[in-house]
Structure 1
Amino acid sequence: MDERTAEERILAGLDEEQRTVATTLSGPLCVLAGAGTGKTRAITHRIAYGVHTGVYNPNRLLAVTFTARAAAEMRTRLRDLGVGTVQARTFHAAALRQLQYFWPHAVGGQLPGLLEHKATIIGEAARRLRLPADRASIRDLAAEIEWAKVSMLTPETYLLKAVDRGEPGGLDKVAVGRLFQGYEDVKADRNLIDFEDVLLITVGILQEDPRVAATVRDQYRHFVVDEYQDVSPLQQRMLDLWLGGRDELCVVGDASQTIYSFTGATPRHLLDFPKRFPAANVVKLVRDYRSTPQVVGLANSLLGNRRSGGLSADALWSAPLELVAQRPGGPAPEFLECSDDEAEAAAVAARIKILIEHGTPASEIAVLFRTNGQSEAYEQALTGAGVGYQLRGGERFFARKEVRDAMLQLRAASRAAEDEPLGQLVRDVLKNLGYQAEAPNTGGAVRERWESLSALVALADELVVSRSTPEHVFTLVDFVAELQDRASAQHAPTVQGVTLASLHSAKGLEWDAVFLVGLSEGLMPISFADTPETVDEERRLLYVGITRAREFLNFSWSTARTPGGRANRRPSRFLDGLRPSSVGGAPTGPRQPAAKKSRKVAGPSVCRVCGKILNTGAERKVGRCPDCPPGYDEAIFEQLRQWRLKESAAAEVPAFVVFTDATLMAIAEAAPQDLDALASLPGVGPAKLERYGEAVLEIVAND
């Protein structure tokens, strides 16, 4: 029997730095935690230690993070440490809870309905304003409005702050501002609020109503914020109002894992924390318990290879934490160059099959790519190899029919559960839905159904071990309640199958084996990363991908997009200094600036149709006034637009990032027949020429 006190058990097994975090219970604390260094362990043990020593009242501490999954994981760990009453929520969930409580007193009446998706309202606003908005444009505009709102901008101030934001949805800034206002008007007409409004309105109430602010500050005396590098200006404002000038705040983050700047997140709050709180304790967690020395060394080198990008970029780049591997050595990372995308997917699938045959569970293998559009080739290759997979970001686990049916059956069985081990009870119930001990030989829907049910069985076995105590054995009733809690938080169990995921969606996860694919220039870094700041973010994104691997790490790229295509792709510049020189030819190296061409002093641009002076950049790009008839076949332009729509959807970027409408018009009018002619057109830079050139020429030639 363990005779240690609860406090001693909580601190046992923590390293020196983690123990410092866990025992620093008062005042401001900044934890700089590298990937795999046990930050969640450190902060949950800190909360538990504070509660068990009486420093914290569990009902007066709020832990916030950024995803429902992370919040659910934190609640699970806190429950296992005996402090399950501590609240762990996302910023939005915490704000919504407060808004629902205070709305009747601060505003009166019934809280407006919550809008989960912006597309319908944006579409209606566009129609009211007679603005063009196809499906891709609406998605781009929704992202832009979200960015504006988390940056605390109004439709009026948006015009002043969005100078360098491009043309979302193909609209200029004035039109976007009008649509932003129109969107707000439609919401008001329908008595709806969106997720950003939840934060904005709660912030407004806390600022304007001293009684509400005092009540919240009395309720919460201590705060913990995870992934602090990802806070937006709006979330930081909310946190400031919760604190009300106090400093009982613990923040945890890693500036080297900042990968959501495009949504308004900024690491500045993390980096400036010691300036804001001069008395703050700063603890660095650098002992990496996740990955082998080979993986850790590559991750350190990737960040260490970064060179100055100028004053502006350097100001946003912090000195990375130098991780120190704690695991024994493992296999050397592999680098693989393939002839085309299809060959790359087949080679990766073959390597995955070998890993599985040698004992690595499929659920401990991931294929990570830059854009969701890359997943199809790997879905086909894995299916051809007879390997099951799950697509992260696809249908949610608890929304699957077999899972919903299983929960209903288990709930019914729990009302008359016999005195039988939980694992066997769950197996017996799920047999009626098609569960069997061995995986089916077929793929497709049958395999996916089995994997879902198998995940529930494995979760039951796991919880019996982790949740049972000498006083209480974890039962079927407990299991049903746990499933309900997990469904509410979308905290899915592990599904047997190789994970296919984008690098962004892999944040916070880890696997035994990770395959980083499509690592060619134009995809990593992505072609629209055309400033030092955005290239730095792409470097951090690859760093996140590398640090997901515990043991096996494979890098791959292809020299051509399609079989038999022109082999003009180069491996990512980020691999220079990481990959052996024998793989992929000469390193990409820093790009040398092209020799400056002598430029003619040109007069004002004039319309090729009517001869009038052209005043705007868009007019000069297409070479005519907007009222003059176009000099191209509109069918070509429409084909280019449809192609752009697919490319932007696959890359999860705004359509204008691929090419603006003005550039598509210029292409359609010039009808270039080779890459040199295409490169001469405005809006077609080297990166876009390399990534899109062949596809554009094919469209023009085939019309």
Structure 2
Amino acid sequence: MDNAAHRSRTTWQHCGVTSATHSTLFPPVPDTADAVLDGLDPEQREVATALHGPVCVLAGAGTGKTRAITHRIAYGVRSGVYLPAGVMAVTFTNRAAAEMRGRLRELGVGSVNARTFHATALHQLQAFWHKAVGGHMPRLVERKVQLVAEAAARSGLRLDRNELRDVTGEIEWAKVTQRVPEDYPASVATSHREPPRDPAEIAQIYRTYEQLKQDRMVIDFEDVLLLTVGVLQAREDLAQWVRNQYQHIVVDEYQDVSPLQQRLLDLWVGDRGNLCVVGDASQTIYSFTGATPDYLLDFRTRHPSATVVKLVRDYRSTPQVVHLANGLLNQATGRAAEHRLELVSQREKGPEPVYTEYGDEPTEAEGVARHIRDLIRSGVPAGEIAVLYRINAQSEIYEQALADLDVPYQLRGAERFFERPEVREATTALRGASVAGRNDSLLDHAVDLPAQVRAVLGTKGWTAVPPKGSGAMRDKWESLAALVRLAEDYARAKPDATLADLGAELRAREEAQHAPTVQGVTLASLHAAKGLEWDAVFLVGLTEGMLPITYAKTAEQIEEERRLLYVGVTRARLHLALSWSLSRSPGGRAHRRPSQFLDGLRPGTGSRAARAAAGGAGGIERGPAVRKRVRRGPVLCRVCGKTLTEAGEMKLMRCEDCPSDMDEALYERLRDWRSHQAQELGMPPYVVFTDKTLMAIAEAVPSNGHELAVISGVGARKLDRFGTDVLAICAGEEPGGVDEAGS
């Protein structure tokens, strides 16, 4: 990191925006109320001094919203307007609540209540139960999956582990959106949800589940909110006690509130106006759980006298990152888009976002891993780098690519690929089938390795057509589909491979990916990245069908996918890289399209106005095969002159059916050398060079580095790493051996 960037980051950190500040910096407690306001920008100061509600803070990403509201609470207490015990601060996660409590302690007001919605409601329910209901309060069931399984069994339905998770999620959604079992099927239709099973079946499970809880005198977390609402509605004296106790209420992440939480909040506030809400409609990415930004967007309608403050000074990201984020939202539609915030970076200039188009997924993963290694070597800590993707199943190829380069990594929000239960079960089944061989009836009609893998994984939940919608069933399918694709790629690189060979390959990958790490690059889904930030962020796999995800059908769902990308972009402080690949595997048909969300943002797409809105962000880098194609225009067959469109033909520079002048003996020597290299380096052979690249080399028989470099699939890195050996083989000489320095 250069000195300017370091100074910028240091200044930004002292603004108190980064969560790292709380664990590494311990500023002295302000000695006066006015000292609490020191260091706040004008808008943050306006929030901090607006001590009487209603107050609505519209806070963009990286603008210091938590700083503003905690200083508001501290200033209110230190100036004598608030009593510490009279403030209720609520948010949505334990991590966010802990961060808020930590900041309040630093400001000298650690006795303020800062909890999640559920923790606050549970505290009140426990306090009121004896007076409002009598007897012992029902036991809280922290994991409802077992009860849901029993409810399904009693309904004559059998659910596997992933279906249980999905059906449980549907029951939770129904309860927080205040739908009873009888209303569930109609609600699914009107909300455009794609449930994991027939809505009538889920309604029956939901009904039986509620009856089981009643019979056993237990409640779940959603019941905590429902029962607290019931108690406060039935007992006005208790509701009034809450309002007298908590005269000032602050709600963080208000765009994520559900109808049930809003109902409880209304009971807490009553007809008083001392309510402060903070949120950003452009960061609403949890609507599938019942969250809605409508309450934030309608706040002014419900509270006409509200003070509204907009926080738009972004202390997290460079102007280049902020310009891209603004450009992304400028293309949005819908209610949230109408209220979008135009962020203004407060940091010094940084590098432009980098757009990279790759020929295939392995090349994309390898390119990202190499870029990350270079950043680490330049001084960026591994823990300040993240790779973000749409679904967890995408992690495997990046785990492997980072492991190949000895780059430490850690997963957030999910197990490592080979630790996931469905992957463990699948690999065990594949190894069992490899031992049984042709005695396994599953393999009777499987003529090749991919067919054998599909046959075995078909017993574990893989199908040719993915399940509808999202959820655990879809996650399981994606993991199994990743194994199927891995088998297809492995068979393409090693046509004679057996199930036993594949089993050995999977074990090698598992061992490489399971190296223990203390500080490493973060791999996470975009949802799991919410609320976090890094110096460098790599947004990968940005193609149509992945972002927006293929099951996002309605305009509202597609706009939520755009907001998800916006959240990913705004996680980056300094370095931002966006990438996609044109095909899944090396030599595959280049039929993929970059995400529609990048239109008008990446150079060469959309209108001039759209590009201006993106701040002229970044140039497109391309992987070796794509770079040649773009630089030279149409690629023509060197035999018949026809324009080539298939990636494999473009590597060969001729049509597949045109005569080849390949030196067969040279090709075989190159394949033998590649196998030795792959074994020594512990990577699949195609990662060294694909078959098509070796064929192109054997046809061209390059005599120097320049002639080798122009062959599609070689490129500068592989030229440095393997060029000497390849040129020696082409000259009929013995290669020098594995290049350890390049690995």
Give TM-score, length-normalised by structure 1: 0.67
Identity, % of aligned positions: 61
Residue of structure 2 equivalent to 1:12? 38
Task: Please identify the structure whose Cα radius of gyration is greater.
Answer: 2
Q: Deviations over 1:135-170 (max 9, x none)?
A: 222222111111110001111232332224567655
Given residue 447 of structure 1, which amino acid in structure 2 is its aligned partner?
Answer: P
Cα distance in 2 for residues equivalent to 1:36 and 1:64: 20
Q: Where does 1:130-149 land on structure 2 (aligned, <5 Å)? A: 130-149=156-175
Is 1:157 matched with 2:209?
no
Q: Is the 8 A contact 1:61 1:222 kept in 2?
A: yes
Q: Residue type matched to 2:550 in 1?
A: S
Deviations 1:119-143, CA, capped at 9 Å, x for gaps: 2211111111112422222222111
- CA gap of 1:344–1:188, structure 2 versus 1, over 3 A, is same
Q: Does 1:557 align with 2:577?
A: no
Aligned residues: 489
Residue 61 of structure 2 aligns to a residue whose secondary structure is coil
Alpha-carbon distance change, 54 to 91 in structure 1, aligned in 2, over 3 angstroms: same
1:244-290 C-alpha deviation (Å, 9 max, x unpaired): 21110000001111111111111111111111111110000011111
> Does structure 2 retain, via aligned residues, the 8 Å contact 1:292–1:328?
yes
SS at match of 1:499: strand
Match of 1:568 among 591, 596, 599: 591
Structure 2 distance, partners of 1:384, 1:340, is 18
1:198 is the counterpart of 2:267: no
Distance of 1:114 and 1:318 partners within structure 2: 41
Alpha-carbon contact 1:151-1:264 (below 8 Å) kept: yes
Give the residue type in structure 2 aligned to 1:225.
V
Give the letter aligned to residue 38 of structure 1. G
Q: Residue 579 of structure 2: SS of its match in structure 1?
A: strand
Q: Please list every run of 5 or more consecutive structure 2 residues that lacks an aligned counterpart in the other structure.
A: 1-26, 417-510, 605-619, 628-743
Aligned-partner Cα distance in 2 for 1:110–1:93: 19
Aligned counterpart, 1:350: 370
* Residues 317 and 347, structure 2, Cα contact 8 Å, conserved in 1: yes
Residues of 1 paired with 2:29 and 2:239: CA distance?
44
Cα contact 1:295–1:551 (8 A) shared by 2: yes
Does the 8 Å CA contact 2:188/2:194 hold for their aligned counterparts?
no
SS at match of 1:535: helix
Please state how far the C-alpha of 1:96 moved relative to its aligned partner: 1.0
| Cα offset, 1:445, TM superposition | 6.3
CA distance in 1, matches of 2:367, 2:53: 53
1:321 maps onto 2:341 in alignment: yes
Establish whether residue 28 from structure 1 lines up as the match of residue 54 from structure 2.
Answer: yes
Deviations 1:442-462 (CA, angstroms, capped at 9, x unpaired): 9876733xx2xxxxxxxxxxx
Over the aligned positions, Cα root-mean-square deviation in angstroms equals 2.2
Taking the TM superposition and a 5 Å limit, the aligned residue runs for 1:88-103 are 88-103=114-129
In 2, distance between residues paired with 1:155 and 1:374? Answer: 35
Instruction: State the match for 2:395 in structure 1.
Output: 375
Query: Cα 1:169–1:163, aligned 2, differ >3 Å: closer, same or farther?
Result: closer
Counterpart secondary structure, 1:447:
coil
Q: Report how far residue 183 of structure 1 moved.
A: 1.2
C-alpha spacing 1:53/1:524, structure 2 compared with 1 (3 Å): same
C-alpha distance in structure 1 between counterparts of 2:50 and 2:210, whole Å: 45
**Correspondence 1:364 to 2:384:** yes
The 5-angstrom pairing of residues 644-683 of structure 1 reads: none
Matched-pair contact (CA < 8 Å) for 1:51–1:83? yes
Alignment counterpart, residue 222 of structure 1, candidates 245, 248, 251: 248
CA contact (8 A) 2:91 2:253 kept: yes
Give, in whole Å, the separation in 1 of the partners of 2:359 and 2:213: 51
Q: Matches of 1:81 and 1:4 in 2, distance apart?
A: 6
Residues 165/118 of structure 1: CA separation in 2 closer, same or farther (3 Å cut):
farther
**Which of 401, 412, 416 pairs up with 1:392?**
412
Q: CA deviation at 1:7?
A: 1.7
Contact 1:22 1:49 in 2 (8 A): yes
Asked if 1:532 corresponds to 2:555, the answer is: yes
Residue number in structure 1 paired with 2:99: 73
Deviations 1:317-346 (A, max 9, x none): 433100011101000111111122222111
- Alpha-carbon separation, structure 2, partners of 1:524 and 1:549: 18
Distance 1:172-1:446 versus aligned 2 partners, 3 A rule: closer
CA contact (8 A) 1:337 1:557 kept: yes
Single out whichever of 183-192 and 544-553 deviates more from structure 2.
Answer: 183-192
Distance 1:266 1:116 in 2: 25
CA distance in 1, matches of 2:174, 2:82: 37
Contact persistence 2:281–2:336 (CA under 8 A) = no
Q: How far did 1:316 drift?
A: 5.2
Which residues in structure 2 correspond to 1:580-599 (within 5 Å)? 580-581=603-604
Residue 520 (structure 1) aligned to one of 524, 528, 543: 543
Q: Does structure 1 residue 447 correspond to structure 2 residue 516?
A: yes
- Structure 2: how far apart are the matches of 1:297 and 1:3? 36
The residue aligned with 1:508 is 531
The answer to whether the 8 A contact 1:63-1:87 is kept is: yes
Q: Against the structure 1 CA distance between its residues 169 and 22, is the aligned structure 2 distance closer, same or farther, given a 3 Å change threshold?
A: closer
Cα deviations by residue, 1:59-97 (Å, 9 ceiling, x for unpaired)? 110100111101000000000010000011110111111
Unpaired stretches in structure 1, ≥5 consecutive residues: 309-313, 397-441, 452-495, 587-703
Which residue pairs with 2:263 in the alignment? 237
Partners of 1:514 and 1:446 lie apart in 2 by 23
* Structure 1 CA distance for aligned equivalents of residues 274 and 248 of structure 2: 5
For residues 542 and 446 of structure 1, what CA distance do their matches in structure 2 show? 30
Q: Deviations over 1:511-563 (max 9, x none)?
A: 10000011000000000111111111111110000000000000011112233
- The separation in 1 between residues aligned to 2:58 and 2:126, in whole angstroms, is 34
| Residues 269/35 of structure 1: CA separation in 2 closer, same or farther (3 Å cut) | same
Q: Which residue identity is paired with 1:335?
A: Y
Distance in 2 between the 1:128 and 1:544 partners? 42
The change in CA–CA distance for 1:395 and 1:105 in structure 2 (over 3 A counts) is: farther
Contact 2:543 2:581 in 1 (8 A): yes
Specify the SS of the correspondent of 2:574.
strand
Contact 2:355–2:602 (CA under 8 A) maintained in structure 1: yes
Write the deviation string for residues 337-376 of structure 1: whole angstroms up to 9, x where unpaired: 1122222111111111111111111111111111111111
Alignment deviations for residues 291-335 of structure 1 (CA, whole Å, 9 cap, x no partner):
0000000000001123x5xxxxx3454331000111010001111
Query: 1:543 & 1:231 partners in 2: Cα distance?
Result: 20
Aligned mates of 2:171, 2:28 — CA distance in 1? 55
Q: Which residue of 1 aligns with 2:152?
A: 126
Q: 1:171 aligns with which of 197, 202, 210?
A: 197
Instruction: Report the 3-state secondary structure (helix = DSSP H, G, I; strand = E; otherwise coil) of the residue aligned with 2:114.
Output: strand
Give the equivalent residue in structure 1 for 2:567.
544
Whether contact under 8 Å (1:141, 1:168) holds in the other structure is no
Decide whether the 8 Å contact of 1:136 with 1:169 is kept in 2.
no
What is the alpha-carbon distance in structure 2 between the residues aligned to residue 76 and residue 4 of structure 1? 15
Contact preservation (8 Å) 1:138, 1:169: no
Deviation sequence 1:563-589 (CA, Å, 0-9, x none): 333321111011111112366799xxx
**Residues 181/59 of structure 1: CA separation in 2 closer, same or farther (3 Å cut):** same
> Which residue is equivalent to 1:207?
233
User: Secondary structure of the equivalent of 2:75?
Assistant: helix
Once residues 4 and 147 of structure 1 are traced to their aligned partners in structure 2, the CA distance between those partners, rounded to angstroms, is 43
Q: Which amino acid aligns with 1:272?
A: D
Distance in 2 between residues matched to 1:139 and 1:227, nearest whole Å:
25
Once residues 287 and 46 of structure 1 are traced to their aligned partners in structure 2, the CA distance between those partners, rounded to angstroms, is 18
Aligned to 2:602: 579
Letter in 2 for 1:178: Q
Tell me the alpha carbon deviations over residues 215-268 of structure 1, each in whole angstroms, 9 at most, x when there is no partner: 212211100000101100000001001112111000000111111111111111
Question: TM-score, length-normalised on structure 2?
Answer: 0.63
Residue matched to 1:499: 522
Contact 1:168 1:176 in 2 (8 A): no
